[in-house]
Amino acid sequence: MVGLGLVAAVLAVVLRHNRPEMAMFLSIAVGIIIFAALIGKIGSVLDVLRELSSRANLSMIYLGTILKIVGIAYIADFGAQICRDAGEGAVASKIEFAAKILVLVLAVPIVLAVLNSLIRVVP
């Protein structure tokens, strides 16, 4: 994995001198490949989490929301870093801003559930 990253970094430097757009494609490709290599492990970790939560009879909604938030955070970070790599800091911050809003939208039901349970406990 590290070897892959180093090779790509060297090739990107070679390419950046006269073909900057190719270097950007190269960095995107490396990001995708490294993630594709890890997807299996992430999947197995998530399965273990899901199985544990079902055994501890936690409701699946919360776990699903947490998974969604993690997914959104990862994708947003992936895109933002690539934009920043290409020199587009403004676009990167817009992407991160959108990701924050989406995460907020996802978090609202959980906050409501917590508040409801609190109100019930402390009348």
Partner 1 sequence: MGSDVNLIFKIAGVGILVAAAHWILKSAGKEDYAFITTVGGVAVVLVWVIYQLGSLFEQVKSVFKLF
Residues lying near partner 1 in the complex (CB under 8 A) are found at 4, 7-8, 11, 14-15, 18-19, 21-23, 25-26, 28-30, 32-33, 35-37, 39, 42-43, 46, 64, 67-68, 70-72, 74-75
Q: Which is nearer to partner 1, 16 or 84 (CB)?
A: 16
Q: How far is the CB of 2 from partner 1 (least distance, A)?
A: 13
Q: How far is the CB of 111 from partner 1 (least distance, A)?
A: 20
Q: Phi, psi at residue 122, to the nearest 5°?
A: -115, 75
Contact 28/36 with Cβ under 8 angstroms?
no
Q: How far is the CB of 1 from partner 1 (least distance, A)?
A: 9
Is the alpha carbon torsion for 37, 40, 41, 46 positive or negative? positive
- Look up residue 92 and give its two tokens: 């990167």
Q: End-to-end CA distance of the chain: give it in Å, rounded.
A: 55
Q: How far is the CB of 94 from partner 1 (least distance, A)?
A: 19
- Look up residue 58 and give its two tokens: 């936690």
**3-class state of residue 6 by DSSP:** helix
Q: Which is nearer to partner 1, 43 or 117 (CB)?
A: 43
Q: Which is nearer to partner 1, 67 or 98 (CB)?
A: 67
Residue with tokens 């490294």: 34
